[in-house]
Amino acid sequence: MSIPVSDRHAAAYRSREVPAPLLVTDGVWAVPVPLHGSPLRFITVFLVETSGGLVLIDAGYDHRSCWESFTGSVAGIGHDLGDVRLVLLTHNHPDHVGLAGRVRAASGARVVMGREDDFAHQHRVRGGFLAQLRRALERTGAPPGVVDDMHAAGAGAARLTEDLRVDLAPEGDSEHVLGDVTFLGLHTPGHTYGHTVYVDTSRGVVFTGDTMMAEGPTQLAVPSLPGDDPAGDLLASLDRLRALDVEIACPAHQFPYRDVAARAGELAAFHRAELDAVERLLRTRRSAWEIAPHLTWARPWEELGAGSRRFALMHTLSLVLGVTR
Residue 39 has pLDDT above 90, yes or no: no
Mean pLDDT value of segment 79-83 = 97
* Number of structural domains in the chain: 1
Q: Round to whole Å and give the CA distance between 42 and 97.
A: 14
Domain membership flag for residue 296: no
Mean pLDDT value of segment 13-42 = 91
Q: Model confidence at 314, in pLDDT bands (50, 70, 90)? A: very high
The predicted pLDDT at position 160 comes to 63
The predicted pLDDT at position 158 comes to 55
The pLDDT tens digits of the residues spanning 126-182 come to: 999 999 999 999 999 999 999 999 999 887 655 567 999 999 999 999 999 999 999
Domain membership flag for residue 64: yes
The predicted pLDDT at position 229 comes to 97
Domain membership flag for residue 136: yes
Contacts of 27 (CB under 8 A, 6+ apart): 48, 49, 50, 203
The residue range of the domain holding 63 is: 3-272
Mean pLDDT of the chain: 95
Mean pLDDT value of segment 122-127 = 96
Domain membership flag for residue 192: yes
> Of all residues in the chain, what percent carry a pLDDT higher than 90?
92
Sort strands 205-209 and 248-251 into parallel, antiparallel or unpaired: parallel
Mean pLDDT value of segment 25-34 = 97
The pLDDT tens digits of the residues spanning 258-300 come to: 999 999 999 999 999 999 999 999 999 999 999 999 999 999 9
Lowest mean pLDDT among 73-77, 156-160, 218-222, 293-297: 156-160
Domain membership flag for residue 234: yes
Residue 31 has pLDDT above 80, yes or no: yes
The pLDDT tens digits of the residues spanning 198-209 come to: 999 999 999 999
Residue 14 has pLDDT above 70, yes or no: yes
The predicted pLDDT at position 6 comes to 97
CATH number of the domain residue 45 falls in: 3.60.15.10
Cβ neighbours around 26 below 10 Å, total: 8
Domain membership flag for residue 123: yes
Bridge partners, residue 48, by sequence: 28, 55
Amino acid identity of residue 146, one-letter, is V
> Of all residues in the chain, what percent carry a pLDDT higher than 70?
98
Is 103 in a helix, a strand, or coil? helix
Domain membership flag for residue 50: yes
Domain membership flag for residue 253: yes
Note the pTM of the prediction, 2 decimals: 0.96
* DSSP structure string for 262-296: HHHHHHHHHHHHHHHHHHHHTTT--SHHHHGGGS-
Q: Which of 200, 173, 191 is nearest to 115 (CA)?
A: 173
Q: Which of 203, 223, 195 is nearest to 324 (CA)?
A: 223
The predicted pLDDT at position 4 comes to 97
